[in-house]
């Protein structure tokens, strides 16, 4: 498969997609980081801020700055963990759920634009290929990669 340049093509796609995604989020009054945090909390309610940061692809310090406007706007709430009183768990409020729902039509429109040149089966296959590629990377560690141990069976 020489010459596929997947990493380069994927980065080009990300760069082309980003301004559209930023526009969708801006129309909803939030940043990409804030929207990502809301959608992660929608799928995984009751996680900590550090877990949310990991799942949102940002550092814990960045997540604190991302969360403040969401908390102030009443889109997210904190609750003490009943099992570990020092831990604070994050949840979407009804307003947070509504904010994600309001963004869904524009996001669907963006996804239709992105896949306009594909047949329905191709779109499904592309999504499957991308998920499989992500799972393959997640099944190894960076330390293994550094040592050149990438021939491991997933």
Is 31 in contact with 66 (CB distance < 8 Å)? yes
CA distance 41 to 47: 7
Backbone angles phi, psi at 17, to 5 degrees: -75, -35
Write down the pLDDT at residue 61.
Answer: 87
How many residues does the structure list for the chain? 154
Q: What is the pLDDT of residues 103-147, one digit of tens each?
A: 999 999 999 999 999 999 999 999 999 999 989 888 888 888 888
HSE-CB of 133 using CA atoms within 13 angstroms: 9
Residue 3 has pLDDT above 80, yes or no: no
Is 35 in contact with 103 (CB distance < 8 Å)? yes
CA distance 18 to 53: 19
CA distance 111 to 113: 5
Write down the pLDDT at residue 2.
Answer: 59
Domains and CATH numbers, the chain: 6-114 (1.10.10.10)
Write down the pLDDT at residue 152.
Answer: 55
Nearest to 42 by CA among 93, 103, 106, 81: 93
Write down the pLDDT at residue 138.
Answer: 84
- Number of helices (H) and strands (E) in the chain: give both, helices first: 7, 2
Q: What is the pLDDT of residues 36-91, one digit of tens each?
A: 999 999 999 999 999 999 988 888 888 989 999 999 999 999 999 888 888 999 99
Close Cβ partners of 118 (under 8 Å, ≥ 6 residues apart):
126
* 135 beta partners: none
């Amino acid at each position: 498969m020489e010459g596929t340049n997947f990493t380069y093509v994927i980065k080009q796609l990300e760069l082309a997609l980003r301004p559209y995604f930023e526009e969708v989020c801006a129309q909803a009054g939030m940043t990409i980081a804030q929207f990502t945090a809301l959608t992660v909390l929608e799928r995984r309610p009751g996680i900590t801020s550090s877990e949310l940061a990991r799942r949102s692809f940002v550092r814990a310090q960045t997540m604190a700055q991302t969360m403040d406007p969401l908390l102030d706007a009443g889109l997210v709430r904190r609750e003490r963990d009943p099992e570990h009183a020092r831990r604070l768990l994050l949840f979407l409020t009804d307003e947070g759920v509504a904010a994600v729902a309001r963004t869904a039509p524009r996001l669907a429109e963006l996804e239709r634009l992105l896949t306009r040149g594909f047949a329905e089966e191709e779109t499904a296959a592309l999504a499957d290929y991308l998920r499989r590629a992500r799972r393959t990377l997640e099944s190894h560690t960076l330390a293994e990669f550094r040592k050149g141990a990438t021939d491991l069976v997933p």
